[in-house]
Amino acid sequence: MLRRRVSSLLASSIGNSASIHNKPSSILAPLSSLQSPSHYAQCTSPKSDRSWAFGSQSIRAYSLLSLNDLRDNKGARKQKTRKGRGIGSGKGKTAGRGHKGQKARGTMKFGFEGGQTPLRRRMPKRGFKNPFSLTFQPVGLGKIAKLINAGKIDSSELITMKTLKEVGAIGKQIRDGVRLMGRGSEDIKWPIHLEVSRVTVRAKEAVEAAGGSVRRVYYNELGFRALLKPEWFEKKGRLLPRAARPPPKQKDKVDSIGRLPAPTKPIPFSLEEKEAMSAASA
């Protein structure tokens, strides 16, 4: 029985293959129609603009790349591990931290090295920061002379630190005041009167030789704000503060207390002040 079934199956398969080879025209008909351009005719279907008719058959044409076929490479996108979402995920309960211990609990402060001496304490200290240091913005006599020649500064009036800031002789940030330098002192050929925080010996000699004067005045941080931006106090509805006295360490480095609001006329030096200035210079 088994042999008869196997033989019948072989005979039927051989017969089918012979019938295919004996009738090539029925199979190759669509292929021949594809090769002949005379059979091409665009379908009139409104749903598709890429359907073509080949003889009695219609075939839809597809491009090699289309927008709906775009995909990321395998492994390009990796989902974020969701911790603490049940034991079935493998990262539940302890969320991959294990049981107890320092690493299973909260984070440590920055620089903590497990109890040993941290690096910031192992390294030696270098230098120090002086809390009493002062930072002055320098301005030379040559720059002031150029601004006077350009007509930005009136030499007949008192030149204060506010005047220097408004004409751009110094920067916007005045921390502890302005230091008058002797650069370009040969350009000063007329008397000028200035009020600054510090002055060098060369600059002072050049200004006094031309018939002018330089007064060293003291302003604290609030005093500088009242001197440079008095409109800030008006906007806040506050009165201008009183001028502050210099600290003991700066008493011998200034001539007087700064005046508020910004003065317009210089104060002549008294005889006592002139004697003190001459003694200090000697």
**Beta bridge partners of residue 213, listed in sequence order:** 193
Q: What is the pLDDT of residue 66?
A: 87
pLDDT (average), residues 106-117: 90
The C-alpha R_g of the chain, in whole angstroms, comes to 47
What average pLDDT does range 137-148 have in this prediction? 94
Q: Cα-flanking dihedrals φ and ψ of residue 128, to 5°?
A: -155, 165
pLDDT at residue 33, rounded to an integer? 46
**Residue type at 200 in one-letter notation:** T
The pLDDT-based confidence of 107 (bands split at 50, 70, 90) is: confident
Residue found under tokens 């004697």: 275
**Which is more confidently placed, 125 or 3?**
125
Contact 58, 52 (CB under 8 A): yes
pLDDT at 278: 67
240-278 pLDDT per residue, tens: 999 899 999 899 999 999 998 888 888 777 766 666 666
Q: pLDDT category, 4, cuts 50, 70, 90?
A: low
Band (pLDDT 50/70/90 cuts) for residue 120 is very high
Is residue 233 within 8 A of residue 239, CB to CB? The reply is yes
Do 104 and 96 meet the contact criterion of CB atoms below 8 Å apart? no
Q: What is the pTM of this model?
A: 0.56
How many residues are recorded in the chain? Answer: 282
The three-class DSSP label of residue 60 is strand
On whether the CB atoms of residues 180 and 203 are closer than 8 A, the answer is yes
Helix, strand, coil percent values for the chain (each to nearest 5): 35, 10, 50
Residues 200, 194: contact at Cβ < 8 Å?
no
**C-alpha angle 127/131/137, rounded to 5°?**
100
User: Is 162:227 a contact under the CB 8 Å cutoff?
Assistant: yes
What are the residue ranges of helices labelled H in 106-241? 119-122, 141-149, 161-166, 201-209, 221-228, 230-236
Crossing angle of helices 24-35 and 2-22, in 10° steps, is 40
The Cα–Cα gap between 196 and 162 comes to 10
Specify the pLDDT at position 38. Answer: 46
The span from the CA of 234 to the CA of 244, in Å, is 20
- pLDDT band (50, 70, 90) for residue 197: very high
> Across the chain, what does the average pLDDT equal?
81
How many Å apart are CA 272 and CA 6, to the nearest integer? 138
- The confidence band for 100, taking pLDDT boundaries of 50, 70 and 90, is very high
Burial class (CB in 10 A: 0-12, 13-18, 19+), 161: buried
* Structure confidence at residue 173 (pLDDT): 82
Looking at residue 268, its pLDDT comes to 76
Q: Is 26 helix (H, G, I), strand (E, B) or coil?
A: helix
| 203-222 pLDDT per residue, tens | 999 999 999 999 999 999 99
- pLDDT tens digit string along 8-65? 655 555 555 444 444 444 444 444 444 444 444 444 444 444 555 555 555 555 567 8
Cα first-last separation, the chain: 139
More confident site: 27 or 233: 233
